[in-house]
Amino acid sequence: MATVNLSTYTPNPAPYSLSGGVIRFARFGYAAKAVVYLIIGWLALELVMGSGGQTTGKRGALYEIASQTHGQLLLGLMAFGLFCYALWRLGSGFFDLEADGDSTKALFKRAGYVVSGIAYGSLGVLAVSIIAGTSGGGGGGGEGSSAQGWTAQLMAQPYGRWLVGIVGAVVIVVGLVQFYRAYSRNFMRNLQVHEMSETERTWSRRVGRLGHAARGVVYLILGGFLIQAAWQADASEAGGLSKALNTLAQQPYGPWLLGIVALGLFCYGIYSMVEAWYRYLPSD
């Protein structure tokens, strides 16, 4: 595996140079994403420690924010941040704002940006609907229902079971990519490491590796759910992050497994907050 001197590494120049305002919006988007993962990880850790908490997903994190003092205001800020992140991901996918190129590998990566943009845009819409009182509740259970709903719709199409199985396999591949990123530490290439102190680089690597590994575990489980749904022709086998965490908790040594993955998701939130501050963006 080739090594990179992270103290001097800078990403390829992007084809666009964006205004400072747009860059600030993008950074706010990364911060909003960070908050979502920090809440998911913290709630699961609280559950493991026996001090309340719950297993929940991204939707549940928004409902948790709404339940806090000044929850409507906080959720409004989150909605804005999620829309900022969604637009940045969509722009990165369609306009190659991160200079990934047009190779086959790069196109798959950019397609992933688009999927991410759509997902976080939907999360922003949910935040607005919670504020407006039109979401109908849901939390983590709503996340699972959503996953089962689109799985059922996909399964109803011609060759639907095959399509669900293929999506499941893709999700598993995404999980394996997360493990590779944790092993190779190549996620550090996204950061302006030359502006970071040695301590900041060290801890960014540590939380980033644990965070990406935890996401790898979650993606493997989610992909397994989809393949199981395709195999049994049963959309109810699909599920979201909340179901994945519950599945971990039900295994032998479940509290330990859940605790490790919860800590990893919390660390991914910290890494995302580092991205909000130090990620390389086109005008930097």
pLDDT tens digits, one per residue of 90-113:
999 999 888 888 999 999 999 999
Note whether residue 13 is domain-resident.
Answer: no
pLDDT tens digits, one per residue of 108-143:
999 999 999 999 999 999 999 999 998 766 555 566
Q: pTM of the prediction?
A: 0.91
Note whether residue 262 is domain-resident.
Answer: yes
Note whether residue 14 is domain-resident.
Answer: no
Note whether residue 128 is domain-resident.
Answer: yes
Q: Give the chain's domain count.
A: 1
* Confidence band for 7, pLDDT divided at 50, 70 and 90: very low
The residue-averaged pLDDT of 206-231 equals 98
Mean pLDDT of the chain: 90
Note whether residue 60 is domain-resident.
Answer: yes
Comparing 59-63, 135-139, 258-262, 264-268, the range with the smallest average pLDDT is 135-139
Percent of the chain with pLDDT over 70: 89
State residue 146's pLDDT score: 81
State residue 136's pLDDT score: 67
Note whether residue 284 is domain-resident.
Answer: no
Note whether residue 7 is domain-resident.
Answer: no
State residue 3's pLDDT score: 44
Note whether residue 236 is domain-resident.
Answer: yes
Domain membership of residue 51 as a residue range: 20-278
280-283: long-range contacts (C-beta < 8 A, 24 or more apart)? Answer: 280/10, 280/11, 280/190, 280/191, 280/192, 281/18, 281/23, 281/26, 281/27, 282/14, 282/16, 282/17, 282/18, 282/23, 282/97, 282/98, 283/17, 283/18, 283/19, 283/20, 283/22, 283/23
